[in-house]
Chains A and B, each alone.
Chain A
Amino acid sequence: MRIGLEFAKTGMVKYISHLDLQRAFSRAIRRSGLPVRLSQGFNPHYVVSFASALALGVESECECVEMALSEEMDATDFLRRIAPALPPGIEARRAMRLKDGGHKLMAAMRETEYRIDLRNMDMDEINRAVCDIMNEDEISATKHAKGKDKTFNMREMILDMKVSGDALVMRLAAGPSGSLKPDFVIEEIRRRAGGFDYSAVRTGLFAHSAGQAAGLLETCGG
């Protein structure tokens, strides 16, 4: 059976990379003694797959990971056993059985939401920059991958963005057809409104259901 787990990654553990997180999960699983399936081959490893890599330095309230279990198990039992085995800073939130033969979480991903907490910044100025960005059709950005620079239209990957109190909330495209990292957007705002200090938290992972954004775990669960 497949099981999905939602967990938070908060505090200094935000400085560990995606690869480090994968390793941390593999060790947590072994400590928990849960019947997570091992791959075949010379270097067997647990069959674990994350919905979306989180950028280094960003906290999250809602990371999702799925695992293949070699025996049937109640999601509540799973949660009860994995929670104490997770390392400091990584906190299990909920677990849900995933549809047999359904899409992988990674494949179902469509949108992510981030909250950017700003410090010592005139929010009116930020608001102006945000409105300008949302009123433009094209903002080009360059990313560096596999030794090549690739220019793309960042604007079409910003699905929504608004100022809320001292924070900035943004919905960004994510998933198999490409993901936008929040630092691209933050850089663009900094370029327009001047430098500022911030901390970023991922607050939502979404799939699409009937053309609408819907909770990732709920959409894949059942």
Chain B
Amino acid sequence: MIDINKLEKILPGVLKPARYVGGELGEVHKKTGADTMRFALCFPDVYEVAMSHMGSAILYHVVNQMDGVYAERAYCPWPDMEEAMRKAGIPLYSLETKTPLSVFDMLGFNLSYEMCYTNVLAMLDLAGLPLRAVERTDEMPLIIGGGGCTYNPEPVADFFDLFVIGEGEEALPELIELYKKTKEDGRGAFLKQAAGIDGVYVPSLYGISYTEDGTVAQMDARQGAPDVVSKRIVRDFENSAFPTSPIVPYLGVVHDRVTVELMRGCTRGCRFCQAGYIYRPIRQRSAEKLMAQAKQSIKNTGHEEVSLASLSTGDYSEIARLVCELSDDFEGSGVSLAVPSLRVDSYAGEYAERLKAVRNTGLTLAPEAGTQRLRDIINKNISDNDIYGAVGEAFASGTNGVKLYFMMGLPGETMDDLQGIADMAARMRELYYEVPKEKRRGGLRLTVSAACFVPKPHTPFQWAAQDDVDTLREKQQFLGEKLAKIKGVKYNLHDARLSMLEAVFARGDRRLSAVVEAAYENGCRFDSWKETFVFSRWEKAFEATGVDPVFYASRKRDKGETLPWDMISSGVNKAYLWKENEAAAKQAATPDCRESCTGCGMKKAGLCV
């Protein structure tokens, strides 16, 4: 255990000390002995973000149900706390028992977004561990990674002992059992056997060579490791683990509510959306199960809100019934329902009314692109009629807030498509003022957010070039000028440089580990936070390592190129993705695969359920 007196000395001087003390309702306490396997769920962001992550809550529950294993939590301290800890000589510790992370058996990092990588290094360093796997000894904890970014783990391959690809509820316990059995045989023996578990990728067992033009030449799987690692999925989603007594944070966290998971996967096939490919196949829980989970969770936690979560909640087959019955159940108890991720074409009036009755949050839509042509390219199969229909309906029923989400820099985009975004905003304004004055609730609150498109691995756009930073900035300025002519529109945009870095690390190879390390040494932390992002530190890191970010972000790949993540399979095969890439160029629609199988490869891989 760390020196609590030392900790108490620094806590009054840092922002939100409650981030660093644990002790919340629902925190798991276990008796530990010499043979207890100690696991730390590490999330490379602040407490409020980490505690909002559902996957971590599920794994905390699953691992703590195992005998002889104790899972605790550790998050990335904000820079003020990092500095205070270093000054006081306090190593990174677990929230539950304040145990230094260096004495744990295994640290499991969630990698949800690329820009958390320097935080992973900060956490390893604060734990007193060497950053690179080759420099760590058998006495030190194993460092493992999971989450969306592990579909291309190469940019951080040097720091990790292994990655679990796909859903971890079943794979992680298997890995822990193997560790317990083979602990005495040493790290090398464990890793070799771990590579035999489905979904486990051990980067040190793969030799990567490069061609003269900088692309990957070959990937050699050694010591019996599989040539291709296929992701894991939970087949029986209905009955898979779900924590109804999750930790209830004292601090206000980002998603401060009970979340029930309606579905996994999405069948729409939007071509830019990585989640739509890597989380296939679609699986859903029964309404009965969800209602029981929601009610039990509210009873156990006392939360004031239940979120019905999935990638596309309107696609849930019993959404209307679920919303109506749950809102009846919670009537008068001060508990409200939140339904995120509603698609425009599934925004149904019948239950929209019920949601408004509990909490009016306005309407959020993601048309993604400003014209039908570009929406056809990206396979976002919604029409102008769908969009204006939903908005008109919402305005008529008293909504005055609309948030619109777009991307700029999509493959095939022209200035006309950006003009289309402005036109759409103007049309929304007209629609609002067509509603009789007595039915309106004040002025229109219209927000247009335009993110910069980041091509992602395992999508049809994985070969595409990202617009360079200058082009993105020109486009941002163009759209800004158009929107400025429409009264009352709020325009949000992303830092193009950050999007460029995301593109680099989304599709990078192993040589980027050196860049991450150099950026960390330059002081990069919390790169996804506006207040802590310093681009010049990244520029210096690229210079010092001789790595050209343009090669990764804005280079169009050939069909035949070996991609750095080709040893990882999401179940959707490369040939299908290429076919979709070509369909995009032809603006050809691909239907929802629930209508008819589109042959993505999941069935062939034995993963479609």
Contact = CB atoms under 8 A, between A and B. Distances in A.
B73 to A, nearest CB: 14
B518 to A, nearest CB: 35
B302 A88 contact: no
Interface string A13-25: 1011101110110
B303 A27 contact: yes
Given A13-B23, A20-B18, A56-B17, A28 B252 contact: no
B77 to A, nearest CB: 14
Contacts of A197: 9
A46 interface: yes
B334 A88 contact: no
A31 B248 CA distance: 12
B88 interface: no
Interface in B258-275: none
Given A15-B11, A16-B251, A57-B11, A29 B21 contact: no
Interface residues of A, number: 31
A102 interface: no
Interface in A109-130: none
Interface in B1-50: 8-9, 11-12, 17-18, 20-25, 27
Contacts of B606: none
Contacts of B17: 15, 56-57
B25 A88 contact: yes
Contacts of B23: 11-13, 88-89
Contact of A27 (B8, B20, B248, B336): B248
A12 B359 contact: no
A49 interface: no
Nearest to B358: A42
Residue with the greatest number of chain B CB neighbours at <10 A, chosen from A15, A27, A42, A88: A15
Given A30-B298, A30-B333, A43-B359, A88 B24 contact: yes
Given A27-B301, A44-B334, A46-B334, A17 B18 contact: yes
A131 interface: no
A30 B302 contact: yes
Interface residues of B, number: 32
Contacts of A176: none
Nearest to A31: B302
Contacts of A43: 336, 359
Residue with the greatest number of chain B CB neighbours at <10 A, chosen from A19, A29, A30: A30
Interface string B337-361: 0000000000000000000000110
Contacts of A27: 25, 248, 301-304
Interface in A38-56: 38, 42-46, 56
Contact of B304 (A15, A26, A87): A26
A146 to B, nearest CB: 20
B250 A20 contact: yes
Contacts of B427: none
A42 B21 CA distance: 34
Interface in B77-124: none
A64 B353 CA distance: 40
Contacts of B22: 12
A211 B336 CA distance: 47
A45 B12 contact: no
Contact of B332 (A19, A24, A38): A38
A147 B18 CA distance: 25
Contact of B18 (A15, A42, A44, A88): A15
A24 B301 CA distance: 10
B24 A87 contact: yes
B13 to A, nearest CB: 10
A52 to B, nearest CB: 19
Given A13-B23, A16-B18, A28 B360 contact: no
A16 B250 contact: yes
Main secondary structure of the interface of B (DSSP, over half): loop
Residue with the greatest number of chain B CB neighbours at <10 A, chosen from A16, A20, A89: A16
B445 interface: no
A62 B244 CA distance: 33
B399 to A, nearest CB: 13
Contacts of B554: none
B299 interface: yes
Given A12-B21, A12-B23, A17-B18, A23 B252 contact: yes
Nearest to A88: B23
B362 to A, nearest CB: 12
Nearest to A20: B250
B300 interface: yes
A56 B8 CA distance: 13
A89 B360 CA distance: 35
B327 to A, nearest CB: 13
A190 B523 CA distance: 35
A45 B334 CA distance: 6
Residue with the greatest number of chain A CB neighbours at <10 A, chosen from B17, B25, B302, B334: B302
B332 to A, nearest CB: 7
Nearest to A119: B5
Contacts of A19: 252
Nearest to B360: A42
Given A57-B12, A197-B9, A15 B21 contact: yes
Interface string B312-345: 0000000000000000000011111000000000
A17 B360 CA distance: 28
Contacts of B304: 26-27, 30, 45
Given A15-B21, A20-B251, A88-B23, A38 B360 contact: no
A13 B250 contact: yes
A23 B359 contact: no
Given A20-B251, A46-B334, A87-B24, A31 B300 contact: yes
Contacts of B24: 87-88
Contacts of A87: 24-25, 248, 250
A85 B12 CA distance: 28
A149 to B, nearest CB: 21
Interface string A55-83: 01100000000000000000000000000
A124 B360 CA distance: 61
Interface string B404-446: 0000000000000000000000000000000000000000000
Contacts of B251: 16, 20
A213 to B, nearest CB: 29
Nearest to A43: B359
Given A13-B23, A44-B334, A87-B24, A28 B302 contact: yes
Interface in A179-222: 197, 199
B245 to A, nearest CB: 11
B250 A23 contact: yes
Given A16-B250, A30-B335, 16 more contacts: A11-B23, A12-B23, A15-B17, A15-B18, A21-B250, A26-B302, A26-B304, A27-B302, A30-B333, A31-B302, A42-B360, A44-B334, A45-B334, A46-B334, A56-B12, A88-B23
25 contacts: A12-B21, A13-B21, A13-B23, A13-B250, A16-B250, A16-B251, A17-B18, A26-B302, A26-B304, A27-B301, A27-B302, A28-B302, A30-B304, A30-B333, A30-B334, A31-B300, A31-B302, A42-B360, A44-B334, A46-B334, A56-B12, A56-B17, A85-B302, A87-B25, A87-B248
Closest 8 CB pairs of A and B: A27-B302, A30-B302, A31-B302, A15-B17, A12-B21, A87-B25, A16-B250, A44-B334
